[in-house]
Amino acid sequence: MKIISDKIHGIIDYVTVLLLALAPSVLGFTGTAALISYALAIIHLSMTVFTDMPLGFVKVIPIKLHALVELAVGPVLVAGALLLPKLFAGGQAFFVAAGVVIFAVWLLSNYGPAVEAKA
């Protein structure tokens, strides 16, 4: 069931960027965990700004490619945080939660014009 429109998805993306950028300061991440969080914030912001969707500004990345990246990032974050706890030290729970949320948003997002149900 695709209940998240492209506009709402864009809002969620910008909130995600904000949370990723603030997490190291607010939650006290240092070292690699902080670098991963900042890098993800920059990458997610870039993807959102350049995606062809209502809240994208440059619109050069097809929304289906945006979807594919999010499909990969969610599970990779969860697996990475669980399998490499030293790499994510201090932020393991945050990155697992972020990965789950990113995957859930991917699962619930429409990624393109709404498709009307046939009668």
Extents of the domains making up the chain? 6-108
Q: What are phi and psi of 90, to 5 degrees?
A: 85, -15
Question: What are the tens digits of pLDDT across the range 84-95?
Answer: 999 999 999 999
> Residue 87 has which token pair?
């790499």
Alpha-carbon distance of 29 to 92, in angstroms, equals 10
SS3 61: strand
CA distances from 73 to 26, 100, 113 (A): 22, 10, 23
Give, rounded to a whole angstrom, the gap between the first and last alpha carbons of the chain.
17
Q: What is the pTM of this model?
A: 0.91
Q: What angle do CA 95, 54, 76 make, to 5 degrees?
A: 20
Question: What are the tens digits of pLDDT across the range 2-40?
Answer: 999 999 999 999 999 999 999 999 999 999 999 999 999
